[in-house]
Amino acid sequence: MAELKQINIQNLPDLLTVREVAELLRVSPLTIKRWGKKGKLPPIRINSRGDRRYKKEAVLWLLGIQPKEN
């Protein structure tokens, strides 16, 4: 049986990879890429290969979590 990892939202980096977002939202990486094409979760393209990164705030918004104001 697979062990569930505890995810600490405060320790997440500001930019997340496709795999990190997929694990966090419990969907496949392909779903994350499709959401990007549809505009539901727009990626930031980095480096010459065009790797996708996603803003932590956008992912938390999809989860219904509002960032705390300091």
Q: List, run by run, the mean pLDDT of 10-residue segments along the chain (70 residues).
A: 62 92 95 95 95 94 76
Q: Which residues contact 33 (CB under 8 A, 6 or more apart)?
A: 18, 52
Which pLDDT does position 5 carry in this prediction?
A: 62
The pLDDT value given to residue 3: 55
- Name the class of domain 13-63: mainly alpha
- Beta bridge partners, 69, equal none
pLDDT at 67: 65
Pairwise CA distance, residues 51 & 38, whole Å: 17
Instruction: State both tokens at 39.
Output: 């505009």
Q: C-alpha angle with apex 15: 70 to 36, nearest 5 degrees?
A: 115
Angle CA(4)–CA(29)–CA(27) in degrees, nearest 5?
A: 50
